[in-house]
Chain A
Amino acid sequence: MSAEVLLQATVQGLQMGAIYALIALSMTLIFSVGGLLNFAHGDFMALAMYGALALYQSFALDAYAAAPLLFFGFFLLGFLMFRRLVQPVLAAGVLAGAQLTLGLVFVQENFLLMVFGGDYLSVPTVLSNKNLVIPPLTMPWPLLVGSLLAVVLAAILYVVLMRTDFGRQVRAITQNSDAAALMGIRIDRVQAIAFGIGIGLLGLTGAIIVAQFTLTPAMGLDFTLIALIVMVIGGLGSFAGSMIAGAIIGVSESLGSLLYGGTVGAMIPYAILVLVLLFRPHGLMGEH
């Protein structure tokens, strides 16, 4: 196997890793809201991808132009959903919350199946099927742009969480919600906004990576699992950890399938997850 092919696979893995990291960070944000493990995470993103498809089909709107629209739409969806659905269930315990999101997997997958059918679909964009060639590398533009935007968005999210009053309020609620209430923080509202941002980010992410993927109604679960893996391996709430974990998963998946075939490539992230959970339960960079 030539060095060029390995390099190519590594670069592609890193780019996928950046996207994984962004999805994992939005999952972490949602997890920080009352400990909700969102099994429907990837399904929200799948919904956004189909949303981009619908906007293209109805208004010839390019997915990249639709991205802000999808962000706000999904923010609203998340905000309302938290108020009406998630919060009351979460009050009964984090396990009930996780079970609710399992139900949402069911709802969303079948909603997509009903509206769009079960066939593989793709969304044409300005960047589709175009490559950037920098010998010896050939990089698909959608993946390149998607990964760069993912890094930028992740950095913005990090700054919002670490450096703004809003971010401090979110973290305060995670660390001690009674004390947060004593600061006059409106816990319900901050949590609903944080959840909305998490879902909104999925809307945005779906739009900026849609050109790289073929759509099927059941695609969400794979993304959920990858996000879980990256979130756990990176250490909950660690920005650098998520980036590194995303890179590890992306590269090992890509090299694994190159060297040993697709199945082994797909198995590697899960094997890594089991090992990390057993031997570094707080992740690579997580705080205890």
Chain B
Amino acid sequence: MHDSRLLSSTTLPWIAFLAVALAPLAMSSSWTNMAILTLLFVHLCIAWNLVGGIAGQFCIGHSLFLAAGAYTSTLLSIHLGITPWIGMFAGAALAALIGVFIAWLSFRYELPPLSFALVTIALAMLGYLAISSIDFLGASRGLTLPVRGTPAMYQFRSDTTYYVVILIQVIIALALSMWLYHTKIGLYLRAVRDNERAAHAIGVPVLKYKMLAMAISAALTAFGGTFYAQYLQYVEPHTFAGINIVIQIILLTVVGGTGTVWGPVVGPMLLVPAGEWLRHSLGGSLPGVHLLVFGVLLVVVIRFAPDGLIGAFGRARQAWRFRRGATEVVTR
């Protein structure tokens, strides 16, 4: 009994996740690109969820962290020849620093949730506008990475290798997020989310944990940024510093279920492939039609399951158990 519950609560989702995530390896290479995109979003959603879901801070500024990871590693590679394998840590450090600063700001000035969202949006816009106008950063044209073609410089001949890299990143991020969720840190973060004042009153060091969550979330997002930049071998402000990508990250997480461990995994795993499929089957007919259908799909899910698919799944399971329990009573 105890064993089976353990299996269903942690092991089973992992097995399911790995089975789905590894499937593209067995398929034709045309799937690899989609799989990479999916896993990249899983990674970014897991990162955002640490702050936006588990700690309940509605942050719209994650484009800053994505940009930090993408631009830092790219610039170091272009100008100093430093491999992105090292540059990614510089980018993550920079992102973590920005994240800690934002967390400090919100704590120091006691920003209520919606004000926090607005401050992060404004900072993100400032970052976007700055990047689009600074020539050293390529301005709105962007920067192209020189072709070096060696794994040591984070460049691979086959997409499959990129796929393996992002898969490993996702596994690390997921394990980290799971560990955080179930340890004292996650408990404290959730306490902060549910009632910051009460958490403070019972002795939770609110600022410290907010900073920690933000730093981890920012660093993970930056790793995603480095990966995406190296994969495209190209950075430009709209993709890497625009608000649109943050909106996508948030929506995908919301559809899966914010504040849960598996929500940010489920959301993108279902919807990114669905979006790509829509693009393939509808994209040729009219511009934007696949994104429209995709958007409607998102809205419908939010409408009927505001707590996401994980929440809806939990409710359905509970209702089923309840029904089964009730029949047991009757038969007895």
Contacts and interface: CB of A to CB of B under 8 A. Distances in A.
Q: Do chains A and B touch in the complex (CB under 8 A)?
A: yes
Interface of A: 35, 37, 85, 88-89, 92-96, 98-100, 102-107, 109-114, 117-118, 217, 221, 225, 228-229, 232, 261, 263, 266-267, 270-271, 273-274, 277-279, 281
B151 interface: no
B287 A270 contact: no
**Chain B binding surface, main DSSP class:** helix
A95 B251 contact: no
Interface in B100-114: 105, 109-114
**Chain A binding surface, main DSSP class:** helix
Interface of B: 58, 105, 109-115, 117-119, 121-123, 125-126, 129-130, 132-133, 243, 247, 250-251, 254, 286-289, 291-292, 294-296, 298-299, 302-303, 306-307
A267 B254 CA distance: 30
Contacts of B294: 106, 110
A100 B105 CA distance: 27
Given A225-B125, A278-B105, A278-B109, A106 B291 contact: yes
Contacts, number: 125
Closest 5 CB pairs of A and B: A113-B288, A92-B306, A106-B295, A107-B295, A110-B291
Contacts of B303: 85, 88-89, 100
Given A85-B303, A118-B287, A103 B118 contact: no
A107 B125 CA distance: 22
Contacts of A93: 306
Contact of B302 (A96, A114, A221, A279): A96
A103 B299 CA distance: 6
B292 A85 contact: no
A94 B294 CA distance: 23
A118 to B, nearest CB: 6
A102 B250 contact: yes
B119 A274 contact: yes
A40 to B, nearest CB: 10
A266 B129 contact: yes
B189 to A, nearest CB: 16
Contacts of A229: 122
B302 A89 contact: yes
B126 A99 contact: no
Contacts of A98: 58, 114, 117
Nearest to B120: A274
Contacts of B307: 92, 96
B302 A103 contact: yes
B133 A263 contact: yes
A263 B292 contact: no
Contact of B118 (A100, A114, A228, A263): A228
Contacts of B251: 99, 102-103, 106
